[in-house]
A and B are shown apart, each in its own frame.
Chain A
């Protein structure tokens, strides 16, 4: 079985130019939304800890649940909750956009921009509606 060994490490350190990275690109909507998809996804992954805390608080009884509720109703708690609600709606809508792309549709510039604007503004409206429906 051929494996890389010392005998084929005879070239000097390869310093070839790398492909252009973030800092040389002009900011565009499609790029910002793509980055936002990853950022919101990571934020929601962190939210898994909060969901676990919430369910364990319910298991631990009325007092623990009330303690969770009082944390959730602080200013920081509310900011984090609204952040998660918005991240959820954005990742949800943009995720649908990605699934459509996976089928080979909406890949042209016009559709990518139209769906991008729809997803971004849709997520603001959607998260506002959910926040309202939740009774805040």
Chain B
């Protein structure tokens, strides 16, 4: 907690009053549930095809990945899972990183990192489909 050592007798509510809404509300919590629910069927789809994922033959793997159903499911899986992971790691950072500067740096790395990795994955899936 950033304010636990603050020398004040004003209540947290008193300090927050008048500063306006964060306009966020339960969005973070809700999106974690939405992505979780999206991941239930998507996960089962890929667990069902685990033999194709573990395929060590390059040509066979590319052929499987190039199937439109698989590619679309893979893109949806990457978006839902990376988003879900980003939300989860954000909560872990907010819980354990107490110094303000370090916390903001970690949150930025988390957000930019998952966005970057996610785009790299989506691009790779498209590339395998259209260029290989």
Contacts and interface: CB of A to CB of B under 8 A. Distances in A.
Is B truly associated with A? yes
Interface in B1-23: 4-10, 15, 17-19
Interface in B36-74: 36-37, 39-40, 43, 47, 50-51, 53-54, 56, 58-59, 61-62, 65
Label chain A's interface by main secondary structure: helix
Label chain B's interface by main secondary structure: helix
A32 interface: no
Interface of A: 1-4, 8-14, 38, 41-42, 44-45, 48-49, 51-52, 55-56, 58-59, 62, 65-66, 69, 73, 88, 92, 95-96, 98-99, 102, 130, 133-136
The winner among B54, B121, B128 for most chain A CB atoms within 10 A is B54
B106 interface: no
Nearest to A62: B58
Contact of B85 (A8, A44, A58, A135): A44
Contacts of A134: 50-51, 53-54
A42 B88 CA distance: 8
B8 A4 contact: yes
B51 A52 contact: no
Contacts of A59: 124, 127-128, 132
A41 B85 contact: yes
Contact of A56 (B47, B65, B124): B124
Interface string B69-86: 000000000100110011
B28 interface: no
B19 A1 contact: yes
A1 B8 contact: no
A57 B10 CA distance: 56
A95 B44 CA distance: 14
Contact of A11 (B8, B18, B82, B125): B8
A1 B20 CA distance: 9
B124 A8 contact: no
Given A12-B7, A45-B85, A96 B40 contact: yes
Contacts of A48: 81-82, 85, 114, 117
B33 to A, nearest CB: 7
